[in-house]
């Protein structure tokens, strides 16, 4: 025969009720992942932040590339545009080729390419520092006093040199008689190089921000994101400049 136990004699929990304690073996939603009272981990996921930043850069570069492609189309269409000459009773091309200072143009291009190489070294160096940073917090492990070459500073100097070279090239064009409103061809040259210089100046500001963050010893992961995105943006600007040079070479034929 089954024997019933009175309620008053049933074993109770530590809270004095007949129910099991709320903080038993289960997860009540208030404890940490390990079952203790530790707080949730709110450390940022730097890998996810880097991927999002790169995606944002790709989205931002799309309208910039479309802008230069549209200017290229207008440049080529205007170059081949024919006007009717009443004196000769025939269609003639009125495009006036611009005599570019190719020596200084190529020298300035070499400066930009060197800056792209130096910022790539900076990106790889800070990626290595970020990978080794967790080891420095382990007791008994010492990586020594590593000295890092100031690749960011070199890139900043080279970038500013390129922008100063652009001003010099424009003065050379003006000395040859090609001003902004001289002809449609000279207008396109000033506009394409000016738009490129404007976008590169934005990258130079990002470089300056990364330099300041380095001097202030900001967290390595945050600096890594800034340097990584600036480096890929800088590479895009270098490739875009080579594209503009190829366009000018084609138009000079």
Q: Note the pLDDT of residue 37.
A: 44
pLDDT at 172: 94
The predicted structure's pLDDT at residue 138: 60
Q: Which residues sit opposite 83 in a β-bridge?
A: 92
Q: What is the DSSP letter of 41?
A: P
pLDDT attached to residue 142: 55
> What span, in angstroms and rounded, lies between the C-alpha atoms of 28 and 39?
14
* Residue 28: predicted pLDDT: 47
3-state helix, strand, coil in the chain (%, to 5): 65, 5, 35
* Distance between CA atoms of residues 224 and 141, nearest Å: 23
Contact status, residue 152 vs residue 212, Cβ threshold 8 Å: no
What per-residue confidence (pLDDT) applies to 97? 83
Name the residue among 87, 111, 83, 112 with its Cα closest to residue 95.
83
So where are the chain's domains?
Answer: 47-135+147-251
| 71 SS3 class | helix
d(CA 103, CA 109): 10
pLDDT of residue 131: 73
The top-level CATH class assigned to 47-135+147-251 is: mainly alpha
pLDDT tens digits, the chain, 253 residues: what are they?
A: 445 444 444 445 444 444 444 444 444 444 444 444 444 444 458 788 889 999 999 999 999 999 999 999 998 888 877 776 667 766 667 778 888 999 999 999 999 999 999 999 999 998 888 776 655 566 555 555 566 788 999 999 999 999 999 999 999 999 999 998 888 888 999 999 999 999 999 999 999 998 888 888 788 777 889 999 999 999 999 999 999 999 998 877 6
């Amino acid at each position: 025969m089954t024997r019933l136990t009175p309620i008053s004699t049933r074993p109770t929990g530590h809270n004095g009720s007949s129910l099991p304690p709320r903080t038993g073996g289960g997860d009540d939603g208030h404890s940490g992942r390990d079952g203790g009272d530790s707080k949730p981990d709110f450390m940022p996921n730097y890998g996810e932040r880097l991927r999002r930043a790169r995606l944002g850069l790709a989205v931002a570069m799309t309208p910039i590339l479309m802008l230069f492609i549209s200017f290229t189309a207008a440049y080529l269409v205007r170059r081949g545009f024919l006007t009717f000459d009443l004196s000769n009773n025939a269609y003639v091309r009125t495009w006036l080729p611009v005599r570019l200072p190719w020596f200084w143009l190529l020298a300035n291009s070499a400066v930009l390419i060197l800056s792209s190489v130096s910022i790539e070294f900076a990106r790889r160096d800070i990626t290595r520092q970020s990978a080794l940073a967790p080891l420095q917090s382990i007791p008994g492990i010492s990586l020594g006093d590593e000295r890092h070459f100031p690749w960011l500073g070199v890139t900043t100097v080279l970038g500013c040199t390129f922008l100063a070279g652009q001003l010099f090239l424009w003065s050379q064009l003006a000395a040859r008689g090609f001003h902004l409103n001289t002809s449609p061809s000279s207008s396109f040259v000033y506009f394409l190089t000016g738009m490129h210089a404007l976008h590169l100046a934005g990258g130079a500001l990002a470089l300056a921000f990364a330099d300041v963050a380095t001097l202030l010893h900001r967290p390595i992961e945050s600096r890594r994101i800034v340097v990584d995105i600036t480096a890929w943006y800088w590479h895009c600007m270098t490739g875009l400049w080579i594209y503009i040079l190829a366009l000018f070479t084609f138009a000079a034929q």
